[in-house]
Amino acid sequence: MNILEAEGLTLSFGGIRALAEVSVAVPKGGITAIIGPNGAGKTSLFNAISGFYRPERGTIRFDGADVTRVPGHARAALGLARTFQNVSLFRGMTVLDNIKLGGHHRLRTGILGAMGYLGRAAAEESRLRDEIEREVIDFLEIDHIRDLPIDALAYGLQKRVELARALAMQPKVLMLDEPVAGMNREETEDMARFILDVQEERGITVMLVEHDMGLVMDISSHVVVLNFGQVIASGTPAEVRQNPAVIAAYLGEQAAKQRAA
Amino acid sequence: MDWLLLAEFSLVGLLSGGVLALIALGFVLVYKGTRVINFAMGEFMMIGAYLFWTANVFLKLPWWAALALTLAGIAVLGAVVERFVLRPLAGQPVISIVMATIGLGAVLHGVAEAVWGGANLSLPQLLPRTPLTLGEILLPGQVLWSFALAVALIAGFTAYFHLSKGGVSMRAAASDPVTAYAMGIDVRRTQRLTWMFAGVTGAVAGIIVASMTSLSPTLGTVALGVLAVIILGGLDSIAGAIVAGLIVGLLESLTVAFIGGQARDLVPYLVVLVILMVRPYGLFGTRDIERL
């Protein structure tokens, strides 16, 4: 069963067509990787699915409902969490406060709550905090940095905090835009392990854009290849690796012919 | 030097700075929430005061009903401004947005003159006049009450920002709109709310100022002096806004006492000019160090 289905997505910026009739199906519970050369439309696809861009044509179905017209912030509340290519954390806040903002949309207390029902607001807040302690901070092994400001962290840890914040949203689908970009070997291996844990232990469907082919081939259950805004191949990592169109896109026509010969 | 006079004028100055701090809060709310310097803040005050005059004096509604109507009206105005002036300019250079708020101020000014005329109107005395005496120092009742009102409103907004879900959303959206959006926060809604709040603080400040002096389309010019001092304190800090308000109040009061009423509007700018020459990054602002 597919938890997320994009059909015929078309998106252009001026004369440039970023996505042309792109259809992608994300099976529930798996890890789906979107790969392709630079400028292939991977991040555009992510932005269209998470509601940051509005495609000109096409539909997006999430968890059985058509969300094409649902604004991005409401899609997040429905269980579509994402991270960004460049780390996008609230600077000047601590790690814990950043993560708590991920659970923010589940709090109920409104304007009057702050004035009149401080008790309820506090109870709700402490429940959220407990849950985050258990399910996010311990899980991602970031207990030791919880009270540090974001700027004090190494890049790899910042990426992990961003993942933590996305998990605090209790998503059904977690969309990771280049989760290991710029990481060293060790940081990449840690991140790969966490992504697998998220999928296996939490049963959260993962969708990722990544250039690190080693990581993609190791952990993905399903790979979709984009080139010039179009899907040129999809299937298991082994199938995609053998696909001549994929080899051509990555290495050029010449190399593809040589390999075939 | 007359020490008693100095003490009295200093106290009165600080207390009258409460209303100025409220105006400063209006600037800071908008800047924090949307990164826009709202040059039409003074016009929000002025329109708020005119709305109150219309409801209270012209339509003879009781003060509380007039106040409720005024706040509702100014909140609608704030929302309309956000939707039709600011939102279409999202992503444009700061200078365009600043020009738009200056233009908005001119339009509101013109509308006020067309609707209510340029003559001075007077609002009823809303605040009790009974003075408070501290030894030989006499503090006017209006000044005291306006200070108390301003403190209550500022405290309310601060509590809202830090304790409620909506307030936390606003802070998150202000600090990074894109990320906040990805966290499920409706950024357009928080920006609309920001402008509505700014309208409300402006209207309350406008009503207080107009009831203590008089009401004319130029009521809002006081806001510009406040803006100068906020830039000094740091545009994105509520604490800075309060300090800015108190500084302007104190400076104006001391100027009136020791130099004369004509210099009153001049001195705050002079002080800002001098301080910015010495500390170009402001009193509390962080010094930008560029890495080459």
Length of chain A: 261
Type and span of the H or E element at A32: strand A31-35
Query: Do B57 and B124 form a contact (C-beta atoms < 8 A)?
Result: yes
Give a yes or no: residue B134 inside a domain. no
How many Å apart are CA B156 and CA B165, to the nearest integer? 14
CA distance B14 to chain A (A): 28
Which residues is B257 bridged to in the sheet?
none
The complex's ipTM?
0.74
Residue at a domain's end among A168, A198, A218: A168
Range of the domain at A180: 2-79+171-260
How many Å apart are CA B34 and CA B175, to the nearest integer? 9
Range of the domain at B250: 3-115+142-278
Task: Return the pLDDT at A114.
Answer: 47
Domain of A228, CATH number, reads: 3.40.50.300
Regarding whether A193 and A71 lie in a shared domain, the answer is: yes
> Cβ A88–B178 below 8 Å, yes or no?
yes
Structure tokens at B213: 């002096």
Type and span of the H or E element at B15: helix B3-34
Q: How far is CA A17 from the centre of its chain?
A: 23
> Cβ B183–A91 below 8 Å, yes or no?
no
- Is A84 an 8 Å CB contact of chain B? yes
Handedness of CA B159, B161, B101, B70 (dihedral sign): negative
How many separate domains does chain B show?
1
Model confidence, pTM:
0.78
Residue at a domain's end among A168, A187, A208: A168
Regarding whether A188 and A71 lie in a shared domain, the answer is: yes
Residues 6+ positions from A89 with CB-CB distance below 8 Å: A98, A150, A158, A161, A162, A165, B179
Cα torsion at B141, B147, B150, B152 (round to 10°)? -90
Regarding whether A185 and A59 lie in a shared domain, the answer is: yes
Residue at a domain's end among A128, A144, A168: A168
Handedness of CA B192, B195, B197, B200 (dihedral sign): negative
Give a yes or no: residue B121 inside a domain. no
Task: List chain B residues with CB under 8 Å of A121.
Answer: 163-164
> Cβ A90–B172 below 8 Å, yes or no?
yes
Give a yes or no: residue A89 inside a domain. no
Cα torsion at B74, B78, B79, B84 (round to 10°)? 130
> Cβ A77–B184 below 8 Å, yes or no?
yes
Tens digits of residue pLDDT in A158-207: 999 999 999 988 899 999 999 998 888 999 999 999 999 999 998 999 99
Task: List chain A residues with CB under 8 Å of B166.
Answer: 110-111, 114
Give a yes or no: residue B135 inside a domain. no
Regarding whether A175 and A155 lie in a shared domain, the answer is: no
Handedness of CA A46, A50, A56, A58 (dihedral sign): positive
In 10 A of CB A130, how many CB atoms?
Answer: 10
Q: Which residue of A has its CA nearest to B189?
A: A73
pLDDT in tens, chain B (292 residues): 678 888 888 888 899 889 989 999 999 888 888 888 899 999 999 999 999 999 999 999 999 999 999 999 999 999 999 999 988 888 788 889 989 999 999 999 999 999 998 888 888 877 777 888 877 788 888 889 889 999 999 998 888 887 777 788 888 888 788 888 888 888 888 999 999 999 999 999 999 999 888 899 988 888 887 887 777 767 777 887 888 888 888 888 888 888 887 877 788 778 778 877 877 666 655 555 554 5
Residues 6+ positions from A165 with CB-CB distance below 8 Å: A89, A98, A99, A101, A102, B183
Q: Which residue of A has its CA nearest to B188?
A: A73
Give a yes or no: residue A84 inside a domain. no
How many Å apart are CA B25 and CA B44, to the nearest integer? 13
Give a yes or no: residue A229 inside a domain. yes
Task: Return the pLDDT at B160.
Answer: 83
Handedness of CA B174, B177, B179, B180 (dihedral sign): positive
Give a yes or no: residue B288 inside a domain. no
How many separate domains does chain A show?
2
Regarding whether A240 and A182 lie in a shared domain, the answer is: yes
- End-to-end, the C-alpha distance of chain A in Å comes to 39
Structure tokens at B239: 């604490």
Structure tokens at B74: 């100014």
Q: How far is CA B78 from the centre of its chain?
A: 14
Give a yes or no: residue B292 inside a domain. no
Helices (H), chain A: 42-50, 72-78, 95-102, 111-116, 118-132, 155-168, 185-202, 213-219, 237-242, 244-251, 253-260
Give a yes or no: residue A88 inside a domain. no
Give a yes or no: residue B206 inside a domain. yes
Give a yes or no: residue B108 inside a domain. yes
Domain of B88, CATH number, reads: 1.10.3470
Regarding whether A7 and A59 lie in a shared domain, the answer is: yes
Length of chain B: 292
Regarding whether A193 and A133 lie in a shared domain, the answer is: no
Regarding whether A215 and A135 lie in a shared domain, the answer is: no
Regarding whether A128 and A66 lie in a shared domain, the answer is: no
Give a yes or no: residue B291 inside a domain. no
Regarding whether A100 and A65 lie in a shared domain, the answer is: no
Regarding whether A211 and A145 lie in a shared domain, the answer is: no
Regarding whether A35 and A142 lie in a shared domain, the answer is: no
- Is A104 an 8 Å CB contact of chain B? yes
How many Å apart are CA A18 and CA A33, to the nearest integer? 18
